[in-house]
Structure 1
C-alpha cells in the first residue's frame, strides 16, 4: 500500500490544530486517521491529538480482519474517546471546551471502511470521478438529510456550516460510515475543511488525475492550492492507494 500525507498550518493561523496518523494492527491492516481541532475554543489541538493517537494505539492492539468487526470496534471506541476528552476537560479548566472532528479509513484487502464525525471528509477517486464517501455533520446538511430543506436552500440558511457532531462538548458521537470496494489503483483521500472549503472538487480531481505524479506530489500540490486560495485554516490531506500490493 502507498500512503502520503501532509499537515500545514496555513497562512493565517498561529498554530496547527490538525493531527494525522497511520497505524497498523496485528493482522497488518492499516488505519488512517485525520482530526481537525475546533479552533473556536482552546485545546482543539489537544483533542485532535488525543483522538488520533488513542484510536491509532488501540487499533495496533487488535487483530481485526473484517470490515464489520472494524466498524463495531470504531463505534465503541468513539464513545470511549468522547468520554476520555470530557473527563480531561473536567480536570483542566483551559481544556474544558476542547473539541475535534475526525475522519478515518480502514483498508482490509479490497474493502475500505470510512467513518467520520464532523465535517472532515473522505473521498474515493476511481480513475475517472471523485466521490465523497463521508457525510458532513453540519446544521444545513442535517436539515437536508431530514428533507426539511432542498439542496438549493441549504446555502441560504444561517450557520448552515456549523458542525453538529464532534468529540468533546457533545454527547452525539454516532459516526457516519461508508464501505467501498476499491480497485488497486483507486485513491482514497482524507482531508480537513482547510482543503475542501477552499479548493473546488473539480480542481482536486484535476490534481488526483495526474497519474504521472506521486501521491506525495499530489498531496503537496493540494496543500499549496488551499494556501493560495486563502490559507485561512490549517489544512491536512492524506492519500492512500495500491490496496492489494500486500495483505
Structure 2
C-alpha cells in the first residue's frame, strides 16, 4: 500500500497545530495518524506533536502476529499512553494548561485494519465508488444531532460545531473509540482534520477520491486546494492510503 500526506496552515491561522505521520510497520503493515491540537499560545502544536510522537513510537512496536482482539487492545493502550504524555506535560507547565488534541489513527494489513480516534478528526474509506465515514465525531453538535435536538443541516452551521466532548490530553483518562475494518484491493482510506471535512462536503470528497488513476499525492493536493477555496479558516491535513503510487512517495514521513 502507498500513502500520501499533506498539511497546510490555511488562510486564517498563523500557526499550523495539525500534525500527521505515516509509516511502514513489521511485515509490511501500514500505519497513519492525524492529530489536530488545541490550546493557547503554542499549546496546540505541542499537544498534537506529543501525541503523534508517542503514537508513532508505539506503532513501531506493532506485532504482526497479534490477533484482532490483541490489536484492538493495543491500539487502546497506545492512545492511553499518548493521552498520558499530553496530560502530564500540561499538568507540569502552566502555559500548556488545558491543551489537548484530536487524534485518529489507522493500522492496515492487506485484508483488515484497526481505526482508533478521539475528537473530530475523521477516517473515511472509499469502496466501489462510495465514501463511508468510519469514525463518529466526539462533538457537542453530534450529540445534539443523535438526540434529535438539531438536524444534520443545522449541525453543519451550528455556532458551537467545533466544541469537542472528548479530546486527548485534557483529562487523566479519556476513552478512545476503536474498531476493526475489512480491507480490499482498490479501497482507499482518508484520515483528515476538520479543516478539510468541515469545509468540503462529503459528495465532493467522494468525487475527488474516486479518481482511480490520479496519484495519491495529487489527490491530497486537490483536497487541500478545495478546503482553501472554501475559505481555509482552519489548518488542513489529509493522509491517504491506497493502491496508486504517488511519484517519489517516501516510505514514511511526518508533518
Fold-level similarity (TM above 0.5): yes
Please give the residue correspondences for 1:118-157 in structure 2 after superposition, counting only pairs within 5 Å: 118-145=119-146, 147=147, 149=149, 151=151, 155=155
Residue 179 of structure 1 corresponds to: 180
- Deviation of 1:237 after TM superposition, in Å, equals 0.6
* Structure 2 counterpart SS, 1:79: helix
The 3 A distance-change label for structure 1 pair 218 and 140 is: same
Q: Distance in 1 between matches of 2:54 and 2:183?
A: 27
Residue 58 of structure 1 corresponds to: 58
Mark the runs of 5 or more structure 1 residues left unpaired by the alignment.
Answer: none
The list of structure 1 runs, each at least 4 consecutive aligned residues, that deviate by more than 6 angstroms after superposition, is none
- Report how many residues are paired: 242
Residue 23 of structure 2 corresponds to: 23
1:85 aligns with 2:97: no
- Deviation of 1:154 after TM superposition, in Å, equals 6.0
Q: Distance in 2 between matches of 1:8 and 1:158?
A: 24
* 1:53-94 per-position Cα deviation (integer Å, ceiling 9, x unaligned): 111111112324433222101212222222221211122221
- Deviation of 1:98 after TM superposition, in Å, equals 1.3
Q: Distance in 1 between matches of 2:114 and 2:210?
A: 23
Mark the runs of 5 or more structure 2 residues left unpaired by the alignment.
Answer: 245-255
Give yes or no for contact 1:165–1:172 (8 Å, CA) kept in 2. Answer: no
> If the length of structure 2 is used for normalisation, what is the TM-score?
0.87
